[in-house]
Amino acid sequence: MDREAYRNCCSLVKMPRQPYEQFWSSHFVDYIDKELSYFKFFKKYLLPNHPCMFSRRFTQDWKCRKQWVSEEGKPNFQKLLQEFEETPVPVANCNAKEYNANPKQVMPFKEFIQYWKEYIQNGHSSPKGCLYLKDWHMARDFPEHNVYTTPVFFSSDWLNEYWDTIEVDDYRFVYMGPKGSWTPFHADVFRSYSWSANICGRKKWLLYPPGQEEFLRDTHGNLPYDVTSAEVRDGGLFPRSEEACQPLEIIQEAGEIIFVPSGWHHQVYNLEDTISINHNWLNGCNVDIMWQFLQNELSSVQKEIDEWRNTMDSWHQHCQVIMKACSGINYAEFASFLKIVADNRMAVLNARSSGDSSDYPRHLSETLATLGPYHAAFDLQRVAHVIECLLCNEDFKRLDHSTLTLQPETMLQQIRATIQSTRGQHLLYQE
């Protein structure tokens, strides 16, 4: 990001997102087959939260597209077994339903591949059901493999930056599934972005713009498991389903990458034997959507246990515990997330100002160097905005701030001082 892009982005991000009416009747998403600047992607897709598809040219140099795929364009089972034979992997049963999702088991990779071979030989059927290897943390488990490179468009990734820093988890996944495997209707974790690259095979995506999911709730307020099922059209069960727009139906071919924006509910089918790589990610363009999602999640928890509000000690703290269990994060961890993102960017700008790189985040050096100091400054502006929102939030005020890693007022002062210092040295655009 250069000076002009930084100035434009700081202005554009303050504007409200436009409604998604253009997608209600049009089933067209942009197909990117030529070189595209990071700023153009940032401005045209990230900020407005619009989907797009990248052609196979953007994955043509990935090792996995050569090593994991046969000459016929099918999964190369022999090569995959050589690399991962004994590895335990999570496998879902697409024919079973459990809490509106597919139940999973862990099995050795070689056992799944043996099943897959037999499934193909039996005309894509099996008494075991349709099994789907999904949500496998391959990049975390095999960091030395380097079989793909995250495209620069998706490299501003606060979510995986945070989990890499605390060395707990990540949101980088490999999916391997036979023809007929699928993923039920959902929106991505924390309302993050996702990108998904087909290494081989074909997928069909059904995407609904944000807000349309509200028309697809049943009489109990629940979203459908299968948005294509006949019962969704039953007005007695789903009283507003006829008000929903038709989904965007997108066919993704081998080598192509789909960008799924924040809060777009979707359902996905493998039309052929398919391998794909998927990242969930967040950054300064959609952190406000994540914050709104967290507020909604806490509100839902509070409604569920409202009857004990006046009788339960530490009721608000219990709500945070339940929220963490249900959503994977609560307000305290969200504050820690913001602190790590801010600390890393202040270290980048301070090193640029002082010439002292001793505090530079080495594990992010390549990414932050690619994105540049203006991007670091943009990110800090966005963190500061969300911290200001936290300070105005009554539920955040109720937290024991002495236990938080983020002290919001102090962090705001540090962010403003860092940006002012780098501007003063003419290292950033002076507005």
Q: Nearest CA to 120 among 188, 74, 59? A: 74
Please say if the pLDDT value at position 429 is more than 60.
no
CA distance 428 to 419: 8
* Confidence bin at 361 (pLDDT 50/70/90): low
Please say if the pLDDT value at position 423 is more than 70.
no
Q: Indicate where the chain has its CATH 2.60.120.650 domain(s).
A: 24-209+245-281
Question: How much is the pTM?
Answer: 0.93
What average pLDDT does the chain have?
Answer: 92
Burial of 426 (0-12, 13-18, 19+ CB in 10 A): exposed
Alpha-carbon torsion, ordered 383, 389, 395, 397, to 10 deg? 80
Return the axis-axis angle of helices 315-327 and 287-304, rounded to nearest 10°: 120
Q: Model confidence over 8-45: pLDDT tens digits? A: 878 888 888 888 888 877 778 999 999 999 999 999 99
Q: Model confidence over 54-100: pLDDT tens digits? A: 999 999 999 999 999 999 999 999 999 999 999 999 999 999 999 88
Q: Can you read off the two tokens belonging to residue 141?
A: 């488990």
**pLDDT (mean) for 361-387:** 83
Residue 430, pLDDT score:
42
**pLDDT (mean) for 237-263:** 97
* Confidence bin at 422 (pLDDT 50/70/90): confident
CA distance 360 to 367: 12
Q: Which residue has the higher pLDDT, 208 or 423?
A: 208
CA distance 76 to 88: 19
Amino acid 259 reads F
> Across 320-418, where does the E strand assignment appear?
none
Residue 4, pLDDT score:
78
The CATH topology of domain 24-209+245-281 is Jelly Rolls (2.60.120)
Burial of 125 (0-12, 13-18, 19+ CB in 10 A): middle
Q: Which residue has the higher pLDDT, 22 or 241?
A: 241
Q: Model confidence over 278-290: pLDDT tens digits? A: 999 999 999 999 9
Q: What percent of the chain has pLDDT over 90?
A: 80
Q: Can you read off the two tokens belonging to residue 410?
A: 């102090």
Least confident of 95-104, 156-165, 357-366: 357-366
Residue 424, pLDDT score:
46
Phi, psi (rounded to 5 degrees) for 131: -95, 145
Residue 426, pLDDT score:
45
**pLDDT (mean) for 165-184:** 95
3-state secondary structure of 101: strand
Residue 431, pLDDT score:
40
Please say if the pLDDT value at position 428 is more than 60.
no
